């Protein structure tokens, strides 16, 4: 299912994304099921380490890619794409690329609640500096998800990361039964999709999801964050 969904995204890439800057896909093949595309790409063969939980397998794949990019790729930054990520505006990557700074180490969704112990971390599906592994390696802990290993202090580490929350939705941290998902004019990237309904919406008649204002989304998130802090919820374990 995951491979099929991403293959469909690749098949409709020109309809979903307008790329003005040079780019290259780097696919990690751990199942022997290669993705098909005419875009410039490389394939990294990878075998999962035995006896790892799902979130640990993802972390080790990320390490494998981060080390490879740092040693072999000539680029400013790279984006770690997971199967449940979808661009929802065609200028998504150009829009984000313009926000990258020379001092930036990572650019992505800044988690402000403590779901999965991720407060003040950048979620894993993010843009990383080419040499991010060297910077991150001292914080890596193989028993945890890689996106809960490195904490960024909003005051002292501000030059090291760029927060994309205004334009990037991490569904699990923003949406609940009381707050159904809705698109907004400023939203560029959605992470956490569970089925193909949003992809169908982007490729079809665009009738599956409501469109709300950016202010509506910001106020809703602030309210949800306040409720989380007041309830003092226990830290949830990482996804399996």
Could you list the residue range(s) of the whole structural domain that residue 72 is in? 2-231
Q: What is the dihedral of CA 170, 63, 27, 45, to 10 degrees?
A: -150
Give the residue-averaged pLDDT of 68-80. 95
Segment of 110-119, 173-182, 225-234 carrying the highest mean pLDDT:
110-119
- What are the CA-CA distances from residue 94 to residues 21, 53, 64, 85 (Å)? 7, 35, 26, 16
* Position 20 pLDDT exceeds 80: yes
Average pLDDT, the chain: 88
Q: How far apart are CA 62 and CA 28, in angstroms?
A: 9
Phi, psi for 231 (deg, rounded to 5): -80, -15
Domain presence at residue 169? yes
Domain presence at residue 44? yes
Domain presence at residue 51? yes
Domain presence at residue 239? no
Name the token pair of 53.
């939980």
Name the token pair of 158.
């501000």
Q: Report the CATH number at residue 74.
A: 3.90.550
Domain presence at residue 173? yes
Domain presence at residue 237? no
Domain count, the chain: 1
Domain presence at residue 238? no
Across the beta sheet with 189-191, the strand order is 85-87, 189-191, 168-170
Share of the chain above pLDDT 70, in %: 94
């Amino acid at each position: 299912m995951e491979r099929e969904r991403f293959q469909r995204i690749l098949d409709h890439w020109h309809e979903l994304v307008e790329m003005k800057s040079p780019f290259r896909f780097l696919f990690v093949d751990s199942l022997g099921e290669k993705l098909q595309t005419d875009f410039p790409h490389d394939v990294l063969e990878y075998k999962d380490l035995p006896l790892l939980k799902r979130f640990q397998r993802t972390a080790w794949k990320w390490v494998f890619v981060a080390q490879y990019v740092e040693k072999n790729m000539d680029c400013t930054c790279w984006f770690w794409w997971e199967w449940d990520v979808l661009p929802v505006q065609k200028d998504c990557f150009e829009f984000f690329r313009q926000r990258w700074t020379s001092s930036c180490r990572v650019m992505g969704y800044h988690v402000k609640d403590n779901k999965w112990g991720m407060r003040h971390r950048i979620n894993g599906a993010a843009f990383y500096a080419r040499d991010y592994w060297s910077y991150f390696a001292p914080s890596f802990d193989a028993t945890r998800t890689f996106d809960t290993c490195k904490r960024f202090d909003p005051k002292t580490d501000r030059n090291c990361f760029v927060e994309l929350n205004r334009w990037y939705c991490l569904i699990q941290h923003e949406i609940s039964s009381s707050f159904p998902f809705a698109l907004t004019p400023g939203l560029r990237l959605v992470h956490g999709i569970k089925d193909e309904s949003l992809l169908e919406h982007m490729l079809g008649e665009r009738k599956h999801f409501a469109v709300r204002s950016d202010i509506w989304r910001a106020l809703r998130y602030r309210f949800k964050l306040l409720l989380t802090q007041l309830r003092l919820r226990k830290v949830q374990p990482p996804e399996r």
